[in-house]
Amino acid sequence: MPEITDDLIETEQKRLEAETEAGGYHLNPDREFVATLVRGLLENEGRYGYRACPCRLASGDRERDLDIICPCDYRDPDLTEHGACYCALYVSGAVVAGERTVRPVPERRPPGGPERREISSSGIGALPLPVWRCRVCGYLCAREQPPEVCPVCRAAKDRFERFI
Amino acid sequence: MPEITDDLIETEQKRLEAETEAGGYHLNPDREFVATLVRGLLENEGRYGYRACPCRLASGDRERDLDIICPCDYRDPDLTEHGACYCALYVSGAVVAGERTVRPVPERRPPGGPERREISSSGIGALPLPVWRCRVCGYLCAREQPPEVCPVCRAAKDRFERFI
Amino acid sequence: MPEITDDLIETEQKRLEAETEAGGYHLNPDREFVATLVRGLLENEGRYGYRACPCRLASGDRERDLDIICPCDYRDPDLTEHGACYCALYVSGAVVAGERTVRPVPERRPPGGPERREISSSGIGALPLPVWRCRVCGYLCAREQPPEVCPVCRAAKDRFERFI
């Protein structure tokens, strides 16, 4: 485990910035704030072996913490509803553009973590989430709402249609 | 709204080229022709607030113009059938390789724009489009035909199979 | 068909390295070994017109060889089970990290190549493979097992859930 120097944080932050933008997401434009969170992620990686959310208390058991490994399972619904994830590490395009302000994001995680969903065998009527289709490229994803931009072709959210 | 200078067009064209290739698509190799279309896209962005197709008449109502925001909903079927989109901004790999010539592409858009599809609740038999699977990486997409290359692993079109 | 020089191999190897990492996969860290395989791929491209697997005997009929065009249809199940593809051109993250050793990978291809699957019309219960969902970004793919990392958001394999 390497020491968490400013250089390591800067390197990791740049990698995260590139990867985030490539996937159609955005980091908080406040780079100093992001650096603090990146330090927290690296500390958690050293402590637990995985990058647990720096704003939540991890159990240290990867299986139980799966949903709060960053990016957490709650990021995308929170981006849709609040314009930021729980930590405000990730923000929506509207926040980056200055059209929306980040306010505190309420905790969406159920106390003690989520129950694992069981897949019903009763067919497609029983799918736990809707499937969205990008009308431009045909990309399919299962989420509460479509992503801000299509990760494949960059089409905007309103180019998605409900598919299943 | 910045003035549309040659520098702005060049910057935007380079960004579009990189993004297009990264997604497994191709711009027309005629860069001067593409520059004209990029100017049209930027003009439409200034006029309407979104990059409506430069070769079609937009209504100015984003909701009604969704299908002709570039890349339009018709690009991919037109690439498959004609080797180019309606504007010939996007072309197929065969056109880039000189194996196919671009001819005028007939308008695929229904007059007045498309009717929004309603999703039937009668299950998977009622899906409005086939789902294709990349046999290499498992990527799924819903389109009339598979994409020219898999956007995830770059496998060619004939590596896709009908999945649903 | 250009001559297969060391320069061409190096250029092609770098392109392959970048594309592979971008998709969430890894090449064998032994660059000399990889260069040998890249030479084989380029030779097959010259001979057959497509990059048939350099470790298998191709028929020369693209249709019949589709499943062994590199990356082959068997790469991903072999990465999951053995940590490497049949050629050991691709290896898993655990192999790159030195946590797992590559051993000979048994041939997974049916003798004479695969039978093409027919899609049953009896609905979703008849899908030939499970559909996996990335709990972070909603990406869907149909594979025997989830990918090592999500190609869209880089979440690890254990962030996937069975969706259908």
Task: Report pLDDT digits (tens) over B43-92.
Answer: 999 999 999 999 999 999 999 999 999 999 999 999 999 999 999 999 99
pLDDT digits (tens, 9 = 90+) for B23-56: 889 999 999 999 999 999 999 999 999 999 999 9
Residues B77, B134 within the same domain: no
**Interior/surface letters C137-149, b for 16+ CB within 10 angstroms, e for the rest:** bbbbbbbebbbbb
Paired tokens of A152: 């494949």
pLDDT at A121 over 50: no
Interface test with C, best of B21, B121, B131, B133 (most C CBs within 10 A): B133
Contacts of C147 in chain B (CB under 8 A): 137-138
- Model pLDDT for residues A78-92, shown as the tens digit of each residue: 999 999 999 999 999
CATH assignment at residue C158: 2.20.28.10
Lowest-confidence region among A20-24, A116-120, C160-164:
A116-120
Residue B21 falls inside a structural domain: yes
Q: Distance (Å, rounded) from C-alpha B128 to C-alpha A135?
A: 12
B70 and B145 share one domain: no
Say whether C164 and A119 touch across the interface (CB within 8 A). yes
Kindly state whether residues A46 and A92 are assigned to the same domain: yes
| Binary contact (B140, C143; C-beta < 8 A) | no
- Mean pLDDT score across all residues of chain A: 91
- Say whether both B91 and B16 belong to one domain: yes
Domain count, chain A: 2
In this model, does residue A47 exceed pLDDT 90? yes
**Whether residue B119 has pLDDT greater than 80:** no
Cβ pair C140:A143 closer than 8 A? no
C151, C139 contact by CB (below 8 A): yes
B134 and B58: one domain? no
Mutate to test the interface with C, among B121, B131, B135 (most CBs of C within 10 A): B135
Distance in angstroms (rounded) separating the CA atoms of residues B49 and C139: 29
A68 and A10 share one domain: yes
Task: Give the bridge partners for A141, in sequence order.
Answer: A132, C139
Selecting from A73, A124, A132 the residue whose C-beta is nearest the C-beta of C135 gives A73
Alpha helices in B3-131 (DSSP H): 6-22, 31-48, 62-65, 75-82, 93-96
Give the pLDDT of residue B112: 81
Task: Sort out which chain B residues have CB atoms less than 8 A from C140's CB and list them.
Answer: 140
CB C91 within 8 A of CB C26: yes
Instruction: Say yes or no: A85 and A133 in one domain.
Output: no
- B23 chain-A contacts, CB cut-off 8 A: 137, 152-154
Which residues have a Cβ under 8 Å from the Cβ of C72 and sit 6 or more positions away? B136, C53, C85, C86, C109
**Average pLDDT of span B146-163:** 92
pLDDT score for A122: 46
Whether residue B125 has pLDDT greater than 90: no
Provide the pLDDT for residue B122.
46
Residue C107 lies in a domain: no
Task: Name the DSSP letter for residue C162.
Answer: E
Write down the pLDDT at residue C115: 78
Query: Considering only CB atoms, which chain B residues are within 8 Å of C63?
Result: 158
CB contact under 8 A, A142 and C133: yes
Cα separation, C12 vs C74, whole angstroms: 22
Co-location of A130 and A92 in the same domain: no
CA distance C42 to chain A (A): 28
**For B20-25, what is the mean pLDDT?**
88
C128 in the same domain as C91? no
Q: How far is CA B71 from CA A15, A131, B17, C8, in A?
A: 29, 22, 13, 34
Tell me the CATH number at C62: 3.90.460.10
Which of the residues in chain C have pLDDT under 70?
1, 116-125
What number is the average pLDDT over the span B13-23? 92
| Domain assignment of residue A36, given as a range | 6-96
